[in-house]
Structure 1
Amino acid sequence: MAYLRFKALETVGNRETVKVTVPSIKASDYYGSNVYSTEAMRQTLSNAVLKKVITAIEKGEKIDSSTADAVAASMKAWAIEKGATHYTHWFQPLTDATAEKHDAFFEADENGRAIEKFKGSALVQQEPDASSFPNGGIRNTFEARGYTAWDPSSPAFLMPNSSGTNTLCIPTIFVSYTGEALDYKTPLLKSLAAIDKAAVEVCDYFDKDITKVTATLGAEQEYFLIDKALYMARPDLIMAGRSVFGHSPARGQQLEDHYFGSIPPRVNNFMVDFEIEALKLGLPVRTRHNEVAPSQFEVAPTFEECNLACDHNQLLMDVMQKVAERHNLKVLFHEKPFSGINGSGKHNNWALSTNTGKNLLGPTSKPKENLIFLTFFVNVIKAVHDYADLLRSSIATAGNDHRLGANEAPPAIMSVFVGQTLSEMLDELEKNGNIKIDKGDNVYMKLGINKIPEILLDNTDRNRTSPFAFTGNKFEFRAVGSSQNSALPMTVLNTIVAETLTKFKEDVDKQIKKGTKKEVAIINVLRDYIVASKKIRFEANGYSEEWVKEAEKRGLSNVKTTPEALDFFSTEKAVKIFAKHDVMNEREVHARHEIMLENYIKKIQIEGRVIGDLALNHIIPTAIAYQNKLITNVKGLKDLGLEKESKPVIEIIKEISKHISTIQTEVEEMTEARKKANHTDEARKRAIMYGSEVKGHFETIRYAVDKLELLVDDEDWPLVKYREMLFLR
């Protein structure tokens, strides 16, 4: 194993930077060139067909068979011209990855001649095997049938293959034979319809020209990069996605010199390369920079429609992994791949925009326009307050448990940061008494709504310790894990805001029916909501122990582990809100709860097995071999009459023995705990046992192994060390 480590280091030392050829200095010359976009359709479809497709995209209407045939013919011709040989329905099952089954355009006719075929029926629907995907009990193994159905709102794209050919990828939903959703996209689309409906109804108070509200998303993606050879020499990174052992190097992130520092040439070339591929696929990546931890980086896109943004983020991660291979690199998306330095998140910047071009979360200098801003602003805060636990459950994963609250990421306590300016404004609105309106805009003047700063972005700080922060014209959900599919937390966020807006309209309408003027009714309800949700607002350091105590006083949950956090996902309250807005039925909700528990169990199980394998088969034998060298040394010293000089070596031998004994005992107890958990039938109990009784041994074993790393000769140590992995140049 030590040989493998040094061979890997030698390989890294001989690496050359891979050169990248930019297609054009202007990204606009090739942006979206691998996307079957509206422009591509416009060039190949009749106006009548194109109009039907655009209407289907904008209104969610079903596409008829003749239109589907026309689109399929156009899409096939476009794809084949660009080198595509196969097509696939690209979908997002309830795993950590996307899924695809490639079918050739090629078919043989009755005379044995080769023809290229792709019908509308193949575009609209396919029937992949559903039995082997996570289903939470919805499907039996012998009931294999499932369906993928085309999502016209997310354009088809070409994915290059290493062979030089392309595959046409068609984004789809994935449902069971009986119609239940087996993917992330289906509930997301339904939640987007729910928030559109609820938001438009509220907008009607202010602007009757608003007929559609779209949730938008910009997902910032953090990740680590290490050399492929070093990755291959770490079985824990391969199997578990994170390093289960590794002593912190003398230099980590304490000098604060990596963040926004000069990007290493090798990394920069990788970034340029994957950005080119991303831009061809219509992914609007704009920002690249070094993150806080060594070898940690970030890529950020511009805002897009939420469904498309979620698709694009999943696609981006896939593209990054494939491009990394060309540069002999590995991308790590795990939330905490290295102990002692910052982990990675996926900051979801969420907002609401209208068909009239207005950002509903963007304040202006006009009092009347700011009332609509305040309405949506306060409703979002109220939604987070009322459904904080459900929001917490949406980001509960085994990887995120390592990261949340670790003085580098938001805590497990859900709270909202709005900044001093807006906080003072909400407090002022709360304190105002009953308001009477004589005429004109007096109500706005009396409330001081006109005093909201015109350039609010400069008056709203960024609180890195807040899981849900307002950043000027959007909310940033910072607690999402870097490996997660953003669709789940966005589904929850859309649904809870839709519910709050629905309730808001009911409350306002009640007052209007009693004769209260519309503006006063809106303000009265907003004031009630501000008071009711006040405890969720927090403006200070979310990392502090004081906040933990204060949050407890406020009655806010602080659930730090995934199994307990997932309880919130299938409560009666959660089931009711999902069903009410037709996002998920009760069966689908409970199935997802089951799947998330099983995923957690499997992740911890894999980590435990990796820990046991490395500890027993690599670390302990190495430590014993080195200990034997020291014993020989002690014997030699004693033979020379240097008994006093041998005492320090004897102490090292004793310390090594102590750590070996600890590792052996803890691994045995961990294995027994795992066996015990595996014999527990109920998934929740099994998950809790894995999270406490099995995972409870991880840090003790790690501590002993990391101490041995400092004691054993560097020449003998089998695992690539942190100092060798983390400073990529």
Structure 2
Amino acid sequence: MSTLRFHAIKESLANRPILVEEKERRSDIFGKNVFNENSMRQYLTKDAFKGVMNAVKHGKKIDRNIADQVASSMRDWALSKGVTHYTHWFQPLTGATAEKHDAFFETIGDNASVEKFGGSQLVQQEPDASSFPSGGIRNTFEARGYTAWDPTSPAFIYGKTLCIPTIFVAYTGEALDYKTPLLRALQAIDSAATEVCKYFDKNVRKVTSSLGWEQEYFLIDKALVASRQDITLTGRTLLGHSSAKGQQLDDHYFGSIPNRALNFMRDLEVECMYLGIPVKTRHNEVAPNQFELAPIYEEANLAVDHNSLLMDVMGRVASRHNFKVLLHEKPFAGVNGSGKHNNWSLSTDTGINLLGPGKTPMSNLQFLTFFVNTIKAVHDNEELLRATIASAGNDHRLGANEAPPAIISVFIGEQLTKVLEDLEGVTKGKLSPEEKTDLKLNVIGKIPDVLLDNTDRNRTSPFAFTGNKFEFRAVGSQANCANPMTVLNTIVAKQLKDFKVEVDALIVDKDLKKDEAIFNILREYIKGLKNILFEGNGYSEAWEKEAKKRGLSNNKTTPEALKAKISKKTIALFEEMEVMSKIEMEARYEVEMEDYINHVQIESRVLGDIARNHVVPTAVKYQNILIDNVRGLKDIFEGSYKKLAKEQLVLIEEISIHIESINANVTKMTNERKKANGMQDIEEKANAYCFNVKPLFDDIRYNCDKLELLVDDEIWPLTKYRELMFTR
């Protein structure tokens, strides 16, 4: 066994679980390090508290005097907890979070100092924007960018730093982050949905988009990860033969959580409680050493912030437990990868879930209105929705018989399918009294209060209705939820806006009653939605063929999928809804294409290095041992040595064949990479990496993995799958 591998396994086995004792109830510590409503009531004046609440609930601007009061109170609260620094915490287009810490400490004269934090520091800062991805919005020499306080997401203490959630925009005003477009999209859905809600309840003043994410991840021993440069540099294994035992026994899924992993989870959950992240569910996932964590649903903006924060906290807590958290969508071949299911719904300020069936015909008509309009939004924008989950990591997972396919479809279950069919069959135009009664009693009136047990789950569906919400199952595990949530809320907002125009037109032009007009529009919508509805196996070849007949897109790679983000239709949609401008859309397209190129480029370089500098030399070393063995047999047995050395000779030849193939393909991959690097057009370059460089990974890996089976385990340099996934 190689020295590095030996010491990695030895260190891993020597690690003992860190016992986590919870001395306080979680309800007592929840949000303790968050400047939430409870903290603000204690520290803010009545005017300041009212100003912040008006900003949070009604979007009103906070004036400078109020900002100064809030900053002073926030500083006092933070100092009482031992905080020394503050930062504007934001989410640039890198996909990670960013922060620059400043001390409260300032000098005010000779040998005098004070802890200072005012409204200007709270409301706005100017971090260097030159090195963050901008997609051409900013030149490298134009460094100015601004972070601005988002009062709808409360400040929190992380370590000894006060973190203030902010947006991040360029000097010229364009969004350079994920939060800004999300906030605009949430404003759009609030406005559009509230107007539609007034058909059913004129008391509705606000509609909130909610999100509940489910975070899947792998836990691998930190020492073992350090022995694998592919995991260290790319987040996944670029080679490695499958373990004899993988997930085929289904014995890990929902099984007893290993003690060491359980202690990590407890520690993580306590950290989350202090930070106000309402984590609730934990369990083993399908693959060995794979787990899942899920919170209670929250308002979408806060949920996105909490998921971004969680991914950072997970890494820090894991390090304390000598673990490495792998968030890559496909860290291991041959077993399931990881996703991040986004459960989405809409609720009113009167306490109604708009995607939850009600107890009266009219409340069920409201449910069907939002239900059908959501499906239509997905139907009309399925290619755009697919683009929101496109990434180099997710390309390995989508459609791989473990995750939803790259074809976007909607699952609603047998019972709701029957409801839509009945609604479609109602006579067109003005309804007779009998038809109204029949419709309300037989179609609208019979929708059950809770559909959770009346609708089976379809894990192969990328967008499934699950009782009182839609579950977007295809989001990647390391993705920022803001990307898909921005698009989903925008397309539904646009659809609701168009729906209201159509309903109002029928009421005015055709003299129809409100419910009749709604029925007529919904019925016409339903007739055109059949292509997107699918109840079967999304993994099957038959569905791929059927989807093509239906006219649904099947963009299997990121470069293909991302084109939808800059189509004329998409740009017009986002500009109309005032969520993003053409410049911002094109910038994001360029950033995401560049991100894809960089990921494949890095993986290519790492794979070439491991194959040539680790695998091949080890194979040659073992081959030389075999050659010496054959020579020894020849010296002893002379003429009969070939018979005695038959297996060794075959092995020597096999090793040579694999070495030759590895070297040839690494050379070819390097040449293709050089060609791609010389291309100036971003689309041409991404396609070159996708279709010319990346396919060579499989051939190189195949031959490396074959050598792993042939070469003596004692000298193989890389920690193997069986060790990575079953050392606990």
TM-score scaled by length of structure 1:
0.98
Identify the residue that residue 51 of structure 2 maps to in structure 1. 52
Q: Determine the C-alpha separation between the residues in 1 that align with 2:541 and 2:418.
A: 25
**C-alpha deviation, 1:699, in angstroms:** 0.4
Matches within 5 A, 1:413-424: 413-424=407-418
Matches within 5 A, 1:214-229: 214-229=208-223
* Structure 2 counterpart SS, 1:398: coil
Asked if 1:529 corresponds to 2:525, the answer is yes
**C-alpha deviation, 1:23, in angstroms:** 3.4
Asked if 1:562 corresponds to 2:561, the answer is no
Matches within 5 A, 1:12-91: 12-24=12-24, 26-91=25-90
AA aligned to 2:627 is I
Deviations 1:165-221 (A, max 9, x none): x10000000000000000000000000000000001111111101110000000100
Identify the residue that residue 430 of structure 1 maps to in structure 2. 424
AA aligned to 2:7 is K
Identify the residue that residue 249 of structure 2 maps to in structure 1. 255
AA aligned to 1:704 is N
**C-alpha deviation, 1:425, in angstroms:** 1.1
Unaligned stretches of 5+ in structure 1? 161-165
Asked if 1:143 corresponds to 2:181, the answer is no
* Structure 1 counterpart SS, 2:645: helix
Identify the residue that residue 266 of structure 2 maps to in structure 1. 272
Identify the residue that residue 600 of structure 2 maps to in structure 1. 604
Identify the residue that residue 724 of structure 1 maps to in structure 2. 723
AA aligned to 1:430 is E
Q: Is the 1:605–1:674 contact (alpha carbons within 8 Å) kept by the matching residues of 2?
A: yes
Q: Is the 1:23–1:30 contact (alpha carbons within 8 Å) kept by the matching residues of 2?
A: no
* Aligned residues: CA RMSD: 1.1
Asked if 1:400 corresponds to 2:399, the answer is no
**C-alpha deviation, 1:442, in angstroms:** 2.0
Q: 2:487 aligns with which of 485, 492, 509?
A: 492
Matches within 5 A, 1:163-562: 166-434=160-428, 436-438=431-433, 442=437, 444-445=439-440, 448-514=443-509, 515-562=511-558
**C-alpha deviation, 1:41, in angstroms:** 0.6
Q: Is the 1:570–1:593 contact (alpha carbons within 8 Å) kept by the matching residues of 2?
A: yes
**C-alpha deviation, 1:492, in angstroms:** 0.3
Q: How many residues align?
A: 723
Q: Determine the C-alpha separation between the residues in 1 that align with 2:663 and 2:398.
A: 30
* Structure 2 counterpart SS, 1:197: helix
Q: Is the 1:368–1:444 contact (alpha carbons within 8 Å) kept by the matching residues of 2?
A: no
Q: Is the 2:89–2:165 contact (alpha carbons within 8 Å) kept by the matching residues of 1?
A: yes
**C-alpha deviation, 1:430, in angstroms:** 1.3
AA aligned to 1:695 is K
Q: Determine the C-alpha separation between the residues in 2 that align with 1:588 and 1:443.
A: 50
Q: Determine the C-alpha separation between the residues in 2 that align with 1:446 and 1:70.
A: 57
Deviates more, 1:283-292 or 1:430-439: 430-439
* Structure 2 counterpart SS, 1:179: coil
* Structure 1 counterpart SS, 2:433: coil
Identify the residue that residue 105 of structure 2 maps to in structure 1. 106
Q: Determine the C-alpha separation between the residues in 2 that align with 1:3 and 1:60.
A: 61
Identify the residue that residue 8 of structure 1 maps to in structure 2. 8
Unaligned stretches of 5+ in structure 2? none
**C-alpha deviation, 1:638, in angstroms:** 2.0
Deviations 1:525-579 (A, max 9, x none): 1011111121000001101111101101101111100001000011000001111
Task: After the TM superposition, list the runs of 4 or more consecutive aligned residues in structure 1 that deviate by more than 3 angstroms.
Answer: 437-441
* Structure 2 counterpart SS, 1:260: coil
* Structure 2 counterpart SS, 1:411: coil
**C-alpha deviation, 1:263, in angstroms:** 0.0
Identify the residue that residue 93 of structure 1 maps to in structure 2. 92
Q: Determine the C-alpha separation between the residues in 2 that align with 1:486 and 1:728.
A: 32
**C-alpha deviation, 1:328, in angstroms:** 0.3
Identify the residue that residue 590 of structure 1 maps to in structure 2. 586
* Structure 2 counterpart SS, 1:289: strand
Q: Determine the C-alpha separation between the residues in 1 that align with 2:432 and 2:513.
A: 8
Q: Determine the C-alpha separation between the residues in 2 that align with 1:441 and 1:406.
A: 47
Q: Is the 1:264–1:728 contact (alpha carbons within 8 Å) kept by the matching residues of 2?
A: no
Q: Determine the C-alpha separation between the residues in 2 that align with 1:339 and 1:466.
A: 22
**C-alpha deviation, 1:288, in angstroms:** 0.2
AA aligned to 1:557 is S
**C-alpha deviation, 1:448, in angstroms:** 1.7
**C-alpha deviation, 1:443, in angstroms:** 5.8
**C-alpha deviation, 1:518, in angstroms:** 1.2
* Structure 2 counterpart SS, 1:726: helix
Matches within 5 A, 1:568-647: 568-641=564-637, 642-647=641-646
**C-alpha deviation, 1:452, in angstroms:** 1.0
Q: Determine the C-alpha separation between the residues in 1 that align with 2:537 and 2:358.
A: 29
Q: Is the 1:222–1:297 contact (alpha carbons within 8 Å) kept by the matching residues of 2?
A: yes
AA aligned to 1:264 is P
Q: Is the 1:418–1:470 contact (alpha carbons within 8 Å) kept by the matching residues of 2?
A: yes
* Structure 2 counterpart SS, 1:594: helix
* Structure 2 counterpart SS, 1:131: coil
* Structure 1 counterpart SS, 2:694: helix
**C-alpha deviation, 1:441, in angstroms:** 6.4
**C-alpha deviation, 1:509, in angstroms:** 1.0
AA aligned to 1:547 is W
**C-alpha deviation, 1:326, in angstroms:** 0.6
Deviates more, 1:704-713 or 1:456-465: 456-465
Q: Determine the C-alpha separation between the residues in 2 that align with 1:346 and 1:682.
A: 32
Note closer, same or farther for the CA distance 1:322–1:671 as it changes in structure 2 (3 Å cut). same
Q: Determine the C-alpha separation between the residues in 2 that align with 1:3 and 1:376.
A: 61
**C-alpha deviation, 1:447, in angstroms:** 5.0
Q: Determine the C-alpha separation between the residues in 1 that align with 2:373 and 2:85.
A: 47
Q: Determine the C-alpha separation between the residues in 2 that align with 1:668 and 1:331.
A: 33
Q: Is the 2:277–2:306 contact (alpha carbons within 8 Å) kept by the matching residues of 1?
A: yes
Deviates more, 1:564-573 or 1:507-516: 507-516
**C-alpha deviation, 1:110, in angstroms:** 2.4
Deviates more, 1:702-711 or 1:15-24: 15-24
Identify the residue that residue 163 of structure 1 maps to in structure 2. none
Identify the residue that residue 686 of structure 1 maps to in structure 2. 685
Identity of aligned residues (%): 61
Q: Is the 2:247–2:286 contact (alpha carbons within 8 Å) kept by the matching residues of 1?
A: yes
**C-alpha deviation, 1:423, in angstroms:** 1.0
Identify the residue that residue 120 of structure 1 maps to in structure 2. 119
Deviations 1:655-680 (A, max 9, x none): 11011001000000000000000000
**C-alpha deviation, 1:456, in angstroms:** 1.1
Q: Determine the C-alpha separation between the residues in 2 that align with 1:285 and 1:34.
A: 15
Q: Is the 2:279–2:296 contact (alpha carbons within 8 Å) kept by the matching residues of 1?
A: yes
